[in-house]
């Protein structure tokens, strides 16, 4: 069934992951507000987790003052505290009670991932497994194939939207003997919107792709597709339902369970914009890290907001904040353009509630306003273009207005091109419309327009498959990747992983594989490398794994200016899996304080990468 009930979620998008194949939301950066749920708090008591003295005196005082409340969660593993529903007027009173250390308003966040609401497969032809293109540059291929290190006996917890565990990349199993998915829990249920959690023991994701994609990057294993740590043992902690909403309270609960399950590594492709390190999820993450677990979390996709745009809990100093970089190549869906020659140009996926595109040599025309040779924004009624593909420029009005004009003129597909050189992303209408729409780069639109201007007929063909394209900005930080430093001036992000146009498992019902961009994708990549390093003997004691990963990362130079990208954008650089796994040279991460040494880091780079195939 095609439903639109979840579209409102897009409008309140806060964080996390892009609904796109390539980069930024066309509508611009999303909201930066740190959202909280009214009348809901997390109270942290004095004393270590499990110490009852603070809570006993707190609740005695609450009773004495006659403040009514409901406990919605108890924490005793990583946080000495509770979640409470209590009227906002008592906030100050609570904070001043004996035994209380901190009172946090309950943070809520939403991935701006597109919600998939189809439940059957005809829309999504099955895609085949393809190799991860990043593994050569990161050296992960050599770690897996030369060192034979694949994450065996390392346990990794994934906090996300759950998983399609029927996918062959995870062995089509859950918790059975020999299955790599040995742990898991659903903390939210399908319809969780902030307070209505319906937990159960089954983390299956019936509606979203996010958790399946993230876990696939981390540890998928399916023919040509190999995740970073394809033999690791996985715990799946479902903290978002079908609305992609998550709260600090749910994250703390899931972190506690991951600790109890003995995870060595925890990865979170989720975040809370505007959070400080001392948030509830930051606090619980820090305790988890002190207990020896390697904690990795997404930097966020708010690069366009500039400095200080890192999300919580990755802003916390002992949590590794992972930004995103482009690789030299990426997979993309594409058009074959036929004029006096045949070329392929990349495009985004069409809306995931519509059938995959299937076009065979359909004419493409410009969506020019009547009487104009230049106004191609599609913001006004268009001359008739029955049965044709229509090219319009981004900007000037909403996608819905453009789409409606194209549809009314008889167009069968809208192709939106960027008005600058930035990455296109999937087209989202703010109101229901069935016209398929995709986005392309400006450079490719210039090519199309030149051909349309000289050729008699220019046609496009399209299917659901993907092919490899060169990146425009190889190894640059992805434009969407959030910038540091952290709010307390920590060096954030710590480093970058491959996160632009990542081809990885999707739920079987959505075609088995798909391409998504975001720090959601780079984060499990880094978590996977830490599993390889741990299998090879790195210890997390004394920050050993962190130092190995950060010390060996490869700082990147901006090809345009020939200077290093700022540390607050790229951290220590792009993850080097071979270096992190094998390096014996460790110096403390805290000594990287915002300036790189004057020496030429390319020598350093070559030292660690001699065994890599440099792409
Ligand atoms: C929290 O702990 C209290 C005291 O043990 C108990 O009464 C309450 O039911 C618990 N609430 C939840 C939501 O676990
Ligand atoms: C990765 O390296 C291997 C071995 O050198 C090579 O066969 C393969 O084509 C490379 N893959 C990519 C995507 O560059
Ligand atoms: C890799 O290691 C595994 C586990 O120790 C072993 O079973 C396998 O034979 C090794 N593969 C190669 C190619 O050495
Ligand atoms: C594009 O053209 C290539 C080369 O002819 C062909 O292999 C491929 O199937 C075409 N793709 C589409 C979507 O038409
Ligand atoms: C690990 O690094 C964090 C900062 O990222 C620091 O606060 C902590 O003290 C370090 N722990 C050890 C044991 O060095
Ligand atoms: C690095 O961290 C370790 C573990 O905390 C500590 O023992 C050592 O003194 C630190 N080294 C430097 C140079 O700060
Ligand atoms: C930061 O790094 C610079 C350059 O390496 C060094 O001179 C300075 O002492 C460092 N500051 C701190 C607080 O570590
Ligand atoms: C580097 O790679 C080669 C094969 O390409 C391998 O023989 C050699 O052992 C590797 N070096 C290390 C240190 O693993």
Would the pLDDT of 172 be above 70? yes
* Ligand 5 probe mutation, 317, 530, 548, 571, most atoms within 8 A of CB: 317
Distance 33 CA to ligand 6 centre (A): 38
- Among the options 30, 297, 512, 520, which is catalytic? 520
Distance 586 CA to ligand 7 centre (A): 17
Q: Which atom of ligand 4 is nearest to the CA of 334?
A: 13
Catalytic, 160? Answer: yes
Please work out whether the CB of residue 453 comes within 6 Å of at least one atom of ligand 7: no
Which residues belong to CATH 3.50.30.30 in the chain? 330-469
Contacts 24+ apart (CB under 8 A), 510-513: 510/116, 510/118, 510/121, 510/124, 510/209, 510/352, 511/121, 511/124, 511/125, 511/126, 511/127, 511/356, 511/464, 512/126, 512/127, 512/129, 512/167, 513/127, 513/128, 513/129, 513/130, 513/225
Share of the chain above pLDDT 90, in %: 73
Calculate Rg over the CA atoms of the chain: 24
CATH class of 6-110: alpha beta
- Among the options 135, 210, 213, 330, which is catalytic? 210
Would the pLDDT of 596 be above 80? no
Would the pLDDT of 173 be above 80? yes
Q: Which tokens hold the place of 403?
A: 């789409």
Please work out whether the CB of residue 585 comes within 6 Å of at least one atom of ligand 8: no
**Nearest CA owner, ligand 1 atom 2:** 74
H or E stretch at 290: helix 280-290
Q: How many CB atoms lie under 10 A from the CB of residue 29?
A: 16
Task: Say which ligand is closest to the CA of 549.
Answer: 5
**Nearest CA owner, ligand 7 atom 11:** 593
Contacts of 563 (CB under 8 A, 6+ apart): 557
* Ligand 4 probe mutation, 127, 356, 461, most atoms within 8 A of CB: 461
Q: Which tokens hold the place of 604?
A: 């350093």
With tokens 């749920």, the residue in question is 37
Distance 542 CA to ligand 5 centre (A): 7
Looking at residue 432, its pLDDT comes to 86
Q: What is the pLDDT of residues 408-429, one digit of tens each?
A: 999 999 999 999 888 888 888 9
Distance CA 9, CA 17 (A): 13
Domain 130-328+473-553 has CATH 3.40.50.200: yes
Q: Which tokens hold the place of 495?
A: 């480093």
| Axis-axis angle for helices 519-535, 544-552 (nearest 10) | 120
Max intra-chain CA distance, the chain = 85
Least confident range from 271-275, 362-366, 441-445, 525-529: namely 271-275
Q: What is the pLDDT of residues 71-81, one digit of tens each?
A: 999 999 999 99
Please work out whether the CB of residue 599 comes within 6 Å of at least one atom of ligand 7: no
Query: Global pTM?
Result: 0.86
DSSP letter at 598? S
Would the pLDDT of 100 be above 70? yes
Which residues belong to CATH 3.40.50.200 in the chain? 130-328+473-553
Looking at residue 609, its pLDDT comes to 38
Q: How many CB atoms lie under 10 A from the CB of residue 57?
A: 16
Q: What is the pLDDT of residues 236-260, one digit of tens each?
A: 999 999 988 999 999 999 999 999 9
Tell me which fold the domain 330-469 belongs to: Glucose Oxidase; domain 1 (3.50.30)
Q: What is the pLDDT of residues 367-405, one digit of tens each?
A: 999 989 999 999 999 999 999 999 999 999 999 999 999
């Amino acid at each position: 069934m095609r439903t639109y009930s979840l579209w409102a979620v897009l409008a309140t998008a806060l964080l996390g992951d892009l609904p796109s194949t390539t980069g930024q939301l066309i509508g611009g950066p999303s909201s930066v507000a740190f959202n909280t749920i009214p009348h809901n708090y997390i109270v942290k008591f004095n004393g270590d987790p499990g110490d009852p003295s603070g809570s006993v005196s707190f609740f005695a005082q609450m009773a004495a003052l006659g403040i009514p409340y409901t406990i919605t969660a108890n924490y005793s593993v990583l946080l000495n505290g509770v979640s409470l529903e209590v009227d906002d007027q008592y906030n100050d009173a609570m904070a001043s009670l004996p035994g209380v250390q901190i009172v946090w308003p309950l943070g809520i966040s939403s991935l701006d991932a597109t919600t998939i609401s189809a439940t059957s497969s005809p829309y999504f032809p099955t895609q085949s497994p393809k190799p991860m293109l990043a593994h050569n540059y990161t050296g992960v291929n050599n770690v897996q194939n030369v060192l034979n290190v694949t994450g065996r006996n390392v346990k990794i917890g994934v906090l996300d939207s759950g998983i399609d565990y029927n996918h062959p990349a995870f062995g089509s199993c859950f918790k059975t003997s020999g299955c790599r998915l040995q742990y898991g829990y659903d903390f939210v249920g399908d319809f969780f919107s902030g307070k209505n959690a319906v937990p159960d023991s089954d983390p299956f994701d019936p509606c979203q792709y996010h958790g399946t994609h993230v876990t696939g990057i981390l540890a998928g294993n399916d023919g040509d597709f190999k995740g970073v740590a394809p033999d690791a043992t996985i715990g799946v902690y479902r903290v978002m339902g079908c609305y992609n909403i998550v709260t600090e309270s749910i994250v703390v609960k899931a972190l506690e369970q991951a600790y109890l399950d003995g995870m060595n590594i925890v990865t979170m492709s989720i975040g809370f914009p505007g959070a400080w390190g001392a948030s509830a999820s930051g606090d619980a993450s820090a305790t988890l890290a002190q207990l020896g677990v390697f904690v990795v979390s997404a930097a966020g996709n708010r690069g366009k907001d500039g400095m200080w745009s890192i999300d919580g809990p990755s802003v916390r100093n002992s949590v590794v904040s992972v930004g995103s970089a482009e690789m030299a190549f990426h997979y993309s869906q594409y058009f074959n353009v036929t004029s006096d020659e045949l070329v392929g140009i990349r495009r985004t996926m069409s809306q995931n509630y519509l059938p995959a595109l299937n076009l065979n040599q359909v004419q493409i025309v410009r969506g020019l306003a009547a009487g104009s040779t230049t106004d191609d924004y599609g913001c006004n009624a268009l001359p008739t273009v029955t049965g044709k593909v229509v090219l319009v420029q981004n900007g000037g009005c909403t996608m819905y207005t453009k789409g409606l004009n194209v549809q009314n003129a008889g167009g069968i597909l809208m192709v939106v091109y960027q008005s600058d050189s930035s990455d296109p992303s999937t087209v989202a209408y703010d109101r229901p419309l069935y016209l398929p729409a995709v986005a392309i780069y400006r450079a490719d639109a210039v090519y199309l327009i030149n051909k349309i201007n000289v050729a008699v007929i220019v046609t496009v063909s399209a299917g659901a498959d993907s092919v490899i394209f060169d990146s425009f900005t190889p190894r640059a930080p992805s434009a969407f990747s959030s910038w540091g430093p952290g709010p307390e001036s920590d060096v954030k992000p710590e480093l970058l992983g491959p996160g632009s146009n990542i081809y990885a498992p999707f739920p079987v019902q959505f075609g088995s594989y798909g391409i998504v961009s975001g720090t959601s994708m780079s984060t499990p990549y880094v978590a996977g490398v830490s599993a390889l390093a741990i299998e090879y003997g790195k210890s997390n004691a004394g920050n050993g794994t962190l130092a190995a990963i950060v010390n060996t990362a490869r700082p990147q130079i901006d090809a345009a200016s020939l200077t290093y990208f700022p540390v607050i954008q790229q951290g220590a650089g792009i993850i080097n899996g071979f270096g992190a796994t094998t390096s014996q040279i460790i110096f403390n991460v805290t000594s990287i304080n915002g300036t790189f040494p004057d020496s030429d880091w390319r020598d350093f780079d070559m030292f660690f990468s001699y065994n890599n195939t440099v792409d």
